[in-house]
Structure 1
């Protein structure tokens, strides 16, 4: 044992030696987690160097190394070479985005519902489905990947997104979130590292925390993740996968150019990464008739593509189509079988009815027109902020450095429910704060205008 010389040393984390029990690494990990969860150790707090903590506790250095590694796997801390170990963003709270019951006086600008109030064509399709002669066949356990005609409809839908595949390399999932869950549990193991944008989908962050997967933020610009930054990270870090939203990233709205997609694909291939491509909003660009080929198209192997229908057709029918390269087929089916058994054939039938009858296309067109109107309103109130981008939300820079939950609460008290960039932040430090403002959930354009004006007044007076 080393000679203890740190009894009165000002360590940021100072476990009570008298309360530690064997095995010490577990006791220390639990102590660290409790202090982070309680708010005693705040986000960004630098933890003591491992040797200093080992000396203070009269423990072996390897024990402290094991504690820090376990904390990293739990998403509690992160390390920067040459600088130390720090408490991770979101380690003390749940950043999951989910619909919540809000006061009738509060305008909903947080949850991206996809103009769910416009559902008449979906209701019509549902009425036609319940009259079909084969309705009973949709209520059993058959066809784990999806009924053949459901996969055929999905194949048609994906082809319009620029995906060249066949129904034999497709499956139907209970929404994009379900597809992400199956992909993460099937392709990766606890402790694996996945490269992501500096800001990414908050539920993906939480899901990776739950599965003890480490997220590595890669620097980007207004065209998305930088290929050189990804290549450098692949050389210095042990990265197994990458998660990208090239067709309109949530929350930043960044669209990855065709040239950059090709370069990223080359790096992904050369370093044998597994790609999860979440194309939830690519259909907005695809509606122009000239969709940019997804990253999936440039990868010969280890690629998994997700196309949800909740934002463009119906949020209540949890259906997502996926395509995958041949080498992932058995792994995907194993995960799908064990996590889902199967997706609801009844839900899939309604989506299929919309696609094959042609009713899906005017429905999508109408939602695009609603999005254009909402975007134009936003641009008139906040000129120059992502102007001209067609999206269901906007990424608005705001002044100040208040914590995300404080900003959200202050705006809620003023009558607007909105999400702060802190929910989406993977990078340890943020030079600029933002609001992700949903343009499709207020209920009508009048409420949207009122909510946007409240936000403008808030940030102008901050």
Structure 2
């Protein structure tokens, strides 16, 4: 009979063995989830070393190892090599970001797309409805996009810097749908994808649903660190990498050309599947020196996603995809079996707007609004604008406080401001720096932004 020497040992977590169900490793993961939800295990807590917890519970070491691995797969914890396992900072946060309709709350959280510009599409929609072949937009044909729409999409992709042809172009039901079908088609549960330390929150949630593990990599002044990407590939089996090279959400960082070339070399060497999420693609039309898309450096390894929500209207669920031949069949099968087909009506509106010049006018107005919005942000919150964030849809507001993200979000919400803390976008351990992601494009009128930012300043400072 074993003697438990850890009964009075000050472990940071003491699961109750009598309440565990078999298999024990699953029961431990369930009890961990319950203790986190009940406030017994707080975000950031370092869990007991695996051997000590195994001795305390009088179970095998591998049981604890499997329990900790399961907890990481579920997003409850993260591990730091040589330091241990910790409860995730955002574990108690409902990560998914959606629009809210409370008119008494000033929206600085959800990043929309200047919805006041949507009315400019009305005449385009009316013209489409009058066309003789309008009814054909409502059938099952051409599930990945009508050829004419693909032709226009291909032209637009070339304008923003992508070398594409009609055969490699697919039309998906928005950027989120494009990410979903890419994960379904190209990745399996247990696969590992490298991401920015702070990354797009809805992608984090998609990977949790798919059972894909994310490997976070921090950044320096040139963007995500290529030396640490290389080290991760050398030490582990990595399947893919997901990035927003032109404007990271939520940090607004842009990866420099030299860093893109370094990352491209690693992608080629390890034959990684690269997912480029280019949600702010239209900004390349207005840059004095357009950026070179990372996908252009690794075309045979890249799934390039060009969402049209920010350039035109968020309610038009349309995204253009550039997919190499090696991935095309898998992506199409995932699209057929999850979406059936992309709305040809939505695609027709986008295509027609690109053809008749309406899209260009909307994009011009949005650029001007972004310039004004970023100037307001810099003035009210005393920030310094630079070249890469002068036209961003959101900005990071760096914090000196170490207050937990969920607590700070609630404080702001109680004072009439909806805002999102960097913990919500965090993969892995919490760094020393934290910030708020401040949306600049969700207010109904640009003048309302000044009022909202002043209120935020009074709450935070």
- Checking the alignment, whether the CA contact within 8 Å between 2:196 and 2:218 is kept in structure 1 is yes
For 1:199, what is the secondary structure of its paired residue?
coil
1:85 aligns with 2:85: yes
How big is the shift at 1:7? Answer: 2.1
How big is the shift at 1:321? Answer: 0.6
For 2:304, what is the secondary structure of its paired residue?
strand
How big is the shift at 1:315? Answer: 0.8
Q: Match of 1:67?
A: 67
The CA deviation string for residues 264-296 of structure 1, in whole angstroms up to 9 with x for no partner, is: 111111122111100011321332364212111
* Counterparts of 1:214 and 1:30, CA distance in 2: 19
How big is the shift at 1:432? Answer: 1.8
How big is the shift at 1:401? Answer: 1.2
Report the more deviating stretch, 33-42 or 275-284: 33-42
1:225 aligns with 2:224: yes
Per the alignment, do residues 70 and 117 of structure 1 end up closer, same or farther by CA in structure 2, a change over 3 Å counting?
A: same
Q: Match of 1:100?
A: 100
How big is the shift at 1:412? Answer: 2.3
- Checking the alignment, whether the CA contact within 8 Å between 2:93 and 2:424 is kept in structure 1 is no
How big is the shift at 1:246? Answer: 0.7
Report the more deviating stretch, 232-241 or 139-148: 232-241
How big is the shift at 1:2? Answer: 4.8
Q: Match of 1:428?
A: 429
How big is the shift at 1:386? Answer: 3.7
- RMSD across aligned C-alpha pairs, in angstroms? 1.6
- Checking the alignment, whether the CA contact within 8 Å between 2:226 and 2:263 is kept in structure 1 is yes
* Counterparts of 2:158 and 2:288, CA distance in 1: 12
Q: Match of 1:277?
A: 276
- Checking the alignment, whether the CA contact within 8 Å between 2:375 and 2:385 is kept in structure 1 is no
* Counterparts of 2:95 and 2:130, CA distance in 1: 42
Q: Match of 1:173?
A: 172
* Counterparts of 2:66 and 2:428, CA distance in 1: 24
For 1:155, what is the secondary structure of its paired residue?
helix
For 1:118, what is the secondary structure of its paired residue?
helix
Q: Match of 1:397?
A: 398
* Counterparts of 1:397 and 1:308, CA distance in 2: 28
* Counterparts of 1:65 and 1:265, CA distance in 2: 35
Q: Match of 1:243?
A: 242
How big is the shift at 1:384? Answer: 3.7
* Counterparts of 2:284 and 2:38, CA distance in 1: 44
Residue segments in structure 1 that go unaligned for 5+ positions in a row:
none
- Checking the alignment, whether the CA contact within 8 Å between 1:310 and 1:317 is kept in structure 2 is yes
For 1:434, what is the secondary structure of its paired residue?
strand
Aligned residue runs from structure 1 range 61-210, under 5 A? 61-102=61-102, 104-210=103-209
The CA deviation string for residues 182-219 of structure 1, in whole angstroms up to 9 with x for no partner, is: 11122211122111111111111122122222111112
- Checking the alignment, whether the CA contact within 8 Å between 1:189 and 1:213 is kept in structure 2 is yes
Q: Match of 2:439?
A: 438
* Counterparts of 1:79 and 1:339, CA distance in 2: 33
Tell me the TM-score normalized by structure 2.
0.96
- Checking the alignment, whether the CA contact within 8 Å between 1:301 and 1:325 is kept in structure 2 is yes
* Counterparts of 1:326 and 1:9, CA distance in 2: 58
Q: Match of 1:36?
A: 36
* Counterparts of 2:158 and 2:284, CA distance in 1: 14
The CA deviation string for residues 295-344 of structure 1, in whole angstroms up to 9 with x for no partner, is: 11011422101010111101111101111122111111111111111111
How big is the shift at 1:13? Answer: 2.0
For 2:211, what is the secondary structure of its paired residue?
coil
How big is the shift at 1:106? Answer: 2.5
Per the alignment, do residues 289 and 124 of structure 1 end up closer, same or farther by CA in structure 2, a change over 3 Å counting?
A: farther
* Counterparts of 2:306 and 2:215, CA distance in 1: 24
For 1:117, what is the secondary structure of its paired residue?
helix
- Checking the alignment, whether the CA contact within 8 Å between 2:279 and 2:306 is kept in structure 1 is yes
- Checking the alignment, whether the CA contact within 8 Å between 1:308 and 1:320 is kept in structure 2 is yes
For 1:119, what is the secondary structure of its paired residue?
helix
* Counterparts of 1:416 and 1:45, CA distance in 2: 29
For 2:116, what is the secondary structure of its paired residue?
coil
- Checking the alignment, whether the CA contact within 8 Å between 1:386 and 1:394 is kept in structure 2 is no
How big is the shift at 1:380? Answer: 1.9
- Checking the alignment, whether the CA contact within 8 Å between 1:2 and 1:55 is kept in structure 2 is no
* Counterparts of 2:431 and 2:160, CA distance in 1: 34
* Counterparts of 1:320 and 1:163, CA distance in 2: 14
Tell me the TM-score normalized by structure 1.
0.96
How big is the shift at 1:92? Answer: 2.5
Report the more deviating stretch, 451-460 or 272-281: 451-460
